[in-house]
Structure 1
């Protein structure tokens, strides 16, 4: 996996994933995000591939951007198109996926731990906190995620 920084979109798998998000029509974008979460959570106790984990982290960042306290997605590696308001039901799925990414048998976590991934892990934990927060877990979708700057 090519990785150039610690952000949710700063790797090849996540950058490629945003293409799938852009290709999905309006309300189908939520289905693309949910599929990324399920790829991670439905692996059971199998070793979690880093590419699946990276896509789930990127998907979680898109959901978190619409939660109170979430950071907007403004990186050039994020989706080109604005993401419409997402259903709040995606938030628990995102939390479960991030728990799996940060848990045992996660290749992505192992790779980051080999190179002192303290900041990366803290960033993923912040995403999780926003998604699981009391306001973030109960309020309807917020503003659309910003598109890439030109």
Structure 2
């Protein structure tokens, strides 16, 4: 996977996800984001890096619409207009991010092998805080740190 920065769309898989989202009919874009999050949450064993990168990108799209969320300003993100996402996607995005940070996650392992690993984890934590400002990472959950 080509990665050039820690941002949610700063890797090949997330950029490809953005392209797929742009190519998806407007009325089906929320369904694509939802399916991406659910696929990540339901990964039973090891979460592969491409799925993790797509989940982070999907969560960033939802967070961008939340109070305090940062807009997606990179040229690698979606170009087409996005729907206003349903509020019920927020807890799914949080759960998906927790899964991406879990022990059995290739994306987390790959980042932890770099000097930017802590910075990447902080960026995921900021996304999570925007999505669920009243809670931090959940200790004791199957996907908690």
TM-score normalised over the length of structure 1: 0.86
Aligned position for 1:14: 14
Q: How many matched pairs? A: 133
Aligned position for 1:140: none
Alpha-carbon distance, 1:27 to partner: 2.7
Aligned position for 1:109: 108
Structure 2 gaps of 5+ residues are: 135-145
Alpha-carbon distance, 1:43 to partner: 0.9
Structure 1 gaps of 5+ residues are: 135-150
Distance 1:5 1:82 in 2: 24
Determine if contact 1:20/1:32 at 8 Å carries over to the other structure: no
Determine if contact 1:61/1:127 at 8 Å carries over to the other structure: yes
Off by >6 Å, runs of 4+ in structure 1: none
Distance 2:33 2:124 in 1: 16
Alpha-carbon distance, 1:35 to partner: 1.0
Distance 1:10 1:37 in 2: 18
Structure 1, residues 109-131: CA drift from partner, whole Å, max 9, x if none?
A: 00000002111110011001100
Structure with higher RCO (Cα < 8 A, 6+ apart): 1
Distance 1:31 1:114 in 2: 33
